Every structure is written in C-alpha cells, then in structure tokens.
Chains A and B, each alone.
Chain A
Amino acid sequence: MKCALIGNPGVGKSLIFNQLTGLGVEVSNYPGTTVELQRGNTCYQREIIEVIDLPGVYSLDGASDEEVLVRRFLEQQGADVIVAVLNVTRLERNLYLLLQAAEYGLPMVVVLNMIDEAAKQGFTVDTAALRDLLGVEVLLTSALQGKNIDRIIPAALSAARPATLEVPYDHHIEAAVRSLDKMQGTDRFASLQALEGIGDDAELLETAKTIAEEIESRHRMTISQIIAANRHNFARQIADSITVRQKEPAPSFDLDTVLTRVIPGIPLLLGVLLAMLLTVFIVGGWLEGFIVTLFEVYAVEPFTALDLPGIVEAVGIAILLALQAGLGIAFPYVFLFYIFISVLEDSGYMTRAAFLADKAMHRLGMHGGAIIPVTLAFGCNVPAVMSVRTLRSRRERMIAAFLVTMVPCSARTVIIAGIVASFIGLAAAFSIYAIVFVLIVLTGLLLSRITPGERFGMIMEMAPLRRPDPELVLKKSWMRLSEFLFIAMPLLLVGSVFLGLFEFFGVMDVFEAFIEPVTEGLLGLPGYAATALIFGILRKEMAFETLAVLAGTADLGAVLTALQLYIFAIVTVLFVPCLSTITVLHREVGSRVTLAVTVYTVALGLAVGAVINFAFA
C-alpha cells in the first residue's frame, strides 16, 4: 500500500515522515525544502507500507515545479491513501489546500498537526465537527512531541475514505460545471480543472475557455481568482466553525519588531553572518589542523614507511591525500557551517534575512530567496547549487548558479588562509575577499541586465520563529554534509588518483613545458604554479598542497614572490569551480549554462590575474 503525505510548507510533514519511516528527510522551517518525492517504508501488522513525502505546496492549481509535481502525482493516483497534514495554527490557509486535495477524490485521512502549539495559543479544534463536515477521519497530532503519530498508519489503513464535502462555488462557476457536464459529460472535478485551464483534453479546454471568458468578463476577475476566493471563504467558514477558543493568548513579545526593521535588523543580519563566518573559520581551522595531523601521523607516514613499489605508492598517497583534504575540510568547515545555517533556517530567521536582503538581491537579478544558495555556497558550492532549484524562474536559477559558483567556498578559503594570510598578511587576504565580492556584484549587475526571462518578485511566507531542535539541526546538517561526502568526495578521490598518476608518469612535466610560456607571460607565474592551478580543478582544496609539492618546499615564500603568491591565490579562487561543482551544475541548470559558467570564470580568473601582474610587476 502507498500512502502520501501532502500539506503546506512547514506543517511538519517531513518530521512526520521521518518518524514514520525512520529515514532522514531534510526538515526545514523554510518554504520549499523538499522538491523531490521522498519515499520510505514502514511496517504495520506485517504489511509493508510505502510512505511518500510530497513537497510542501500552497495550492494544487499553480504552475511552480512543486505544484505541478504534486498535481501530476495525484492525477495519476500515485498513492492509495492521502494523508493531508495541516498546521492547526494556520488552519484557514491549510484548509484551503485540503479542500483542493479533497476534490481529487482519493481516500484520505486528515492530520491536524502542531496541536501543542495551538494549546499554547489558547485554542483547540473540534475534530468531531470536522470529521462530520469532511466525511473522513481526523487526527490531532504533535510531531514535535511525537504525539499520536503512531495512529496515522492504522487510520490510513482502516478508515481512509474520499471526502464527501463539496466547495460551494459561485453560481456562474456551478452553472459552467453543469453545462460542461451536459455538453461533454465531464465530471465536476475535471470541469473545474478545465475552467482553470488545467488538463490535457484540448476540446474540453477549448469549450471551458469560452465559458471562462464569459464569466471573467462579468466578474471582472479571473476564473482562478473566483475559484480561489470561493475556496478561501469556505475554508474560513469551516475554520471558524471548528475552532474552539479556550482562553485569550497572553500577548507575547513580537521578535519581528526587532528582526525585520532596517535598524537594528540589517546590522543584526550582517553581524549574524560575520559571527558565523568567523566562528567557522576559527573553530574550523583548529579542527582542521588536528585532523590533518592525525592523518599525517597515523596514515600517511606509516604508508610511506611501507616502501611499496612506485605506482602503488603514488596511487595510495593520492587517495590518502584526497581523504585527508576532504575530511580535513568537510568535517571542520562544512559541517560547522551547516550547523549554523540549519539553526538559522529552523529558527525561522532565514525568511527574515531573505526579506531584508530582497532589495539588494534584486539589483543582482534575483530576489530575497536567493540568500539561501548564496550563504550555503560559503560552505561548499555543491549543496548551494543544488538549492538553486528552489528559486522561481529559470532566469533566477541561472544567475544564482553563476554567482554561487563564484562565492569562495571553504576549500578556496583554505587557499586564501594558507597562502595569502600566512605568507603575505591578513590585509592581503581580506583584499582577495573584497575583490571577489566586487566581482560577484559586478557579475550580478551585468547578468541581471543581459539574462532573458521574466522577472518575478518575492512572495514568501515568513516562517514562525521557534526554538530550533538540536537533534533536527544535527540531522539536517548531516544530510547536507552527506551531499558533500557522497557527491563531491568521490569525484575528489578520482581526481586525486589521476593527478597522482599524471605525476608518476611525468605528464605534469610535459604539460608544464607546454603551458609555461603562457603563464609566465600572462600571470608571471612559473610553470609548476600553472600546473597546480590547472589541476586545482580536480581538487581545489589541494591546490595549496599541490603547489607545495611541485615547488619542492612548503616554504612557498622562499621560492615565489609575494606578488606571485597573491596572483596564484586570486586566480585559483576565481578560476573554474571544482569538478564536483561542474557536475552538479550540469545536472541542475544544463550544459549550456555550465559551459558559460566555466568559460566565464576561467576568463575572469586569467584576466584579473593578468591585470594584477601587469599593474604591479
């Protein structure tokens, strides 16, 4: 049996899914976290039940990716039972979706979640009244406290029925439904869909369109508006009739008076971001040193002591180095970073940040929602590119993909810290950040002018502020980290092995001889630095080590001038995202954009390097 969870974003669907199946689904207090279907199994009375977590949607009639996905799923009867999850604290708006879902006629069970929150706000819901109205089983649950979650599957198995109530639509709409029934024999649901222009039957759509135009001209509203208004009004009536107010809630201090004002909201936002980056770099740097030393002492040194034959040793060392670099960076920087991001998301602060940043993001051709991919990119570009899909238009996704890959991720930060900060100085390191940010802004300004496609503004529900649950925060950070570990890491390993083999067979030297005249003339860098640069695509976080290995010394200051180190660092930071990012880019935005991003960043890196070289040499 298949059982699908449907509901608005942020109603606790994913949390319920987790509790039902024990699987790790990313849970977020941020609209649009689940874009794909999540499936998991649970066992009840020796029967295996497949549970599907549908992405959170506000409606089933819209054109966004998630809405189309859920609509198709319901149309194809992808599930035997629908479990409609509602947030009782936003009952009216959640009932609106329920009324739509009920029209699909699938057997359903209604789950009123967050009942603990409702009790805090001084009200409860008359489930018997709702059960009578809908004609389906209604459960009161609290996913946070795990209350009544165990009753969902039994109810879905034994008591799921199609809902019996019908939304009373405007009499013109009802008349249209009747005449479509008479003319073409379509049922109520198909007629309503056709009036809104949804469906595949061309003849029906054509007839419906004529009727719809007539109604629209009389009402001075679109059919969708009329239907939405009818559903909202009906939802309000239901909500009013089933809400039982027990006591007036105590007026609580509204944190939004602080968070969403320009002052102190924006300084607070900048402070939060800065504090997060600083903490990650200080604590992460300490952990990195610790892990790298561990690896050095317990893995690399014993391995070299084995004195294996040449090619085996080269491959082995390459694998160990990749693991050392990957784990040395993944755990300390990326994991810490994702813990912070998860706290910001789950507390509901991220939607405030998106609101405050909206105007600035507009200038760069995106809207406030793009703040998520951009901040994620500081950790690792791979999950950041993957989160680009939550943006509304292709235009925005393209711009975001471009800018996200330019944001210095933790691997590039290691280069800035390891090369510039230690050999030249802190001010020089910050100047690299400054240059990169200016270039990101300029690129955004340019892209927002030249990228075709419609501009959409932001329409985003502000998530309620709540205290993040430590377990959920850790779980989510782990989910994101696993995107790094299982997508980026294997590619790093492969890249590293190739690099080791190239080195072993002397490919590097041939390449070096070939590239040296170009880089020396253009960037003022010796051939081996250029090689480190190029192969940095394979393992960017290792560019520093590669350079050290190729230079034959870790004391880079002795073999390269400050200017050369600076140029090397800035070109590496700007230059092509790593192989893993390219792979994910290709999957998310397609080959043309990926190629454009790659060519652009290579050109930009070389150009900036050359300009600095000629200006200061």
Chain B
Amino acid sequence: MHTMHPSTCEDYLEAVLTVTTGTGRPATAEEIAGALETDPDTAGTALSALVRDGYLVRTPEGGIDLTETGRERAATVARKHRVLQCFLTEMLGIDGAAASREACTLEHEISDETIDRLSSYIDCPRPRHPGRRRCGRSTTTLLDFSEGDTVRVTVLAQPGCNRRLLDLGILPGEMVTIRRKLPNQGMVVRAKGCDIAISPEIAASIFVEKSG
C-alpha cells in the first residue's frame, strides 16, 4: 500500500469533519465518497489507510469518526479553507464556487503563519468601517427582523461605543426577542428577561441571525 499524498489525506479528513459536524453522528463511506465526488472503492481504500495511520476510527456500528489527532488536523485545514475562501471572495471579489475550488488547492500548501496573518488582516477592524461584512457570518441586523422574532446576536459593530449593550446581556451568542418595533425602527428587545428600548442606529449596529 502506497503512502497517501498529504493533500488527499487532508481532503478526506476535512470531508469527514464536514459530514460528521453536519449530521452529528459518525459518517459512512458512501457519504464521504459523495462529499468528495469520488467512487466508493477509492474512498474505502483511502479511509482504511487513514484508520491505519490513526486519524480515523471505525465505530462499532460501522461508521467512521475522527480521532483526536484527525480532528485537530481536519480543523486546521478547515480553518485554512475558510480563511482563504473569505479572502478570495470578500477581498478579491472572486465568485463563490471558483473561490472554493481555489481554496481547496491552496489550503494544503499554505503555512500556518501565513494563514494567521491573512486571518488577522481580514479581521482587522478599520476605522470608519463599522459592521463590515464578515465571511460566513450573517449580515442582517436587528432592523431586518420584525416584531415577535427571536434572533441570535452574532456581531456587535462599534463594540467600544455601546458597552451598555454588553452589560445588559445583548452580546454575541445571546438570543434576543423583538418585543416591539415602531414604524420609525425604534425597538424594544427582551434580553435576559428584561425589556430594553434601543434607538434605530443602535439596532443597526447589532448583527443577528435567525435562530434555530
């Protein structure tokens, strides 16, 4: 049995990670072959090699799951993929599908150092650019939702100015319910069991996504 090319190995691990995260249970060989668009036989061979190398384990039910080492390596590659794809689409304006293919090739060669720098380059908040679009995050704000909606906060633009929001429990990860929305966009949201009235411009700085 020949040794797998590192990029193939990483592609498989990434696929297992995607499938298992998506379904929440161990993957099957068919699912992985489907995700990578190869035939099940090739996939079977590759998966066996990865099990032998200690990246994957076969579960008693016949599924395939990542080992700790495998999960780590897969997560690193997945992060590289995300950062690259973000850079290609958001910064260079390449179309999504093309960027994804490109990222798939680049992710295996790029160094960790470069990825870190690229990531902080993308993330670095520029003055006068609050609430810039971020990859993989929603770009909808509280203003895009209506009365009665429950949403999850993703990002607070201008975090320095609105410290009070943090202290009242309106911060990334928290669920808030819109209790009232006036035609002038002023709103009352419920967070931590308390009703908070906020001005439209504050609501516009709270990025949220539909929960569930």
Q: Chain A: residues with CB nearer than 8 A to chain B?
A: 58-59, 61-64, 89-90, 92-93, 96, 217, 220-222, 224-225, 228-229, 232, 256, 260-262, 351, 354-356, 358-359, 362, 367-368, 454-462
Contact = CB atoms under 8 A, between A and B. Distances in A.
Contacts of A458: 197-199, 202
Interface string B157-177: 001111111111101111000
Contacts of A89: 193
Contacts of B197: 351, 354-355, 358, 368, 458-462
B202 A96 contact: no
17 contacts: A58-B164, A90-B192, A90-B193, A92-B193, A93-B193, A224-B159, A224-B166, A228-B166, A232-B171, A256-B179, A260-B188, A355-B188, A458-B202, A459-B165, A459-B197, A459-B202, A460-B198
Given A262-B183, A458-B199, A459-B164, 9 more contacts: A64-B164, A93-B194, A225-B171, A228-B167, A229-B173, A355-B186, A358-B186, A459-B202, A461-B196
Given A232-B192, A358-B197, A217 B123 contact: yes
B167 A457 contact: no
A58 B191 CA distance: 14
Interface string B130-143: 00001000000000
Given A92-B193, A232-B192, A459 B168 contact: yes
B201 interface: yes
A461 B166 contact: no
Given A217-B123, A262-B182, A459-B165, A225 B172 contact: yes
B84 to A, nearest CB: 17
Given A92-B192, A260-B180, A224 B161 contact: no
A99 to B, nearest CB: 12
Interface in B147-162: 155-156, 159-162
A222 B134 CA distance: 15
Contact of A457 (B119, B169, B199): B199
B40 interface: no
Nearest to B162: A459
Q: Give the interface size class of chain B.
A: 35 or more
A362 B156 CA distance: 22
Contact of A232 (B155, B174, B184, B195): B174
A267 to B, nearest CB: 14
A175 B159 CA distance: 23
B173 A359 contact: no
Nearest to B137: A220
A462 B196 contact: yes
B120 interface: yes
A96 B167 contact: yes
B44 interface: no
A217 B119 contact: yes
Most A CB contacts (10 A, CB to CB) among B162, B172, B186, B202 go to B186
B200 to A, nearest CB: 7
Given A90-B193, A256-B180, A58 B198 contact: no
B123 A220 contact: yes
B131 to A, nearest CB: 13
Given A228-B166, A359-B184, A359-B186, A462 B195 contact: yes
A293 B147 CA distance: 57
Contacts of A232: 169, 171, 174, 192
Pick the 10 closest A-B CB pairs, nearest first: A457-B199, A59-B167, A457-B202, A462-B195, A228-B166, A355-B197, A58-B167, A359-B184, A458-B199, A217-B120
Nearest to B191: A93
B191 to A, nearest CB: 8
B200 A59 contact: no
A493 to B, nearest CB: 42
Contacts of A222: 159-160
Contacts of B168: 58, 93, 459, 461
B120 A59 contact: no
Contacts of A221: 159, 172
A268 to B, nearest CB: 14
Interface string B7-32: 00000000000000000000000000
Contacts of B167: 58-59, 61-62, 96, 228
Given A229-B173, A256-B179, A460 B159 contact: no
Contacts of B171: 225, 228-229, 232
Nearest to B202: A457
Contacts of A455: 201
B75 to A, nearest CB: 14
Nearest to A254: B179
A457 B173 contact: no
Given A229-B172, A461-B194, A62 B123 contact: no
B182 A359 contact: yes
Nearest to B174: A232
A203 to B, nearest CB: 23
Contact of B198 (A220, A261, A459): A459
Nearest to A259: B180
Most B CB contacts (10 A, CB to CB) among A58, A260, A459 go to A459
B118 to A, nearest CB: 12
A456 B161 contact: yes
Nearest to B185: A359
Nearest to A58: B167
B123 A460 contact: no
A225 B166 contact: yes
A88 B165 CA distance: 21
B99 to A, nearest CB: 20
Most A CB contacts (10 A, CB to CB) among B119, B123, B155, B172 go to B172
Contacts of B124: 217
Nearest to A358: B186
Contacts of B194: 90, 93, 461-462
Nearest to A223: B159
A225 B125 CA distance: 15
Nearest to B187: A355
Contacts of B202: 457-459
B163 A224 contact: yes
A256 B195 contact: yes
Nearest to A213: B120
Nearest to B204: A457
A358 B200 CA distance: 9
Nearest to B164: A459
B158 to A, nearest CB: 10
Contacts of A92: 169, 192-193
A256 B187 CA distance: 13
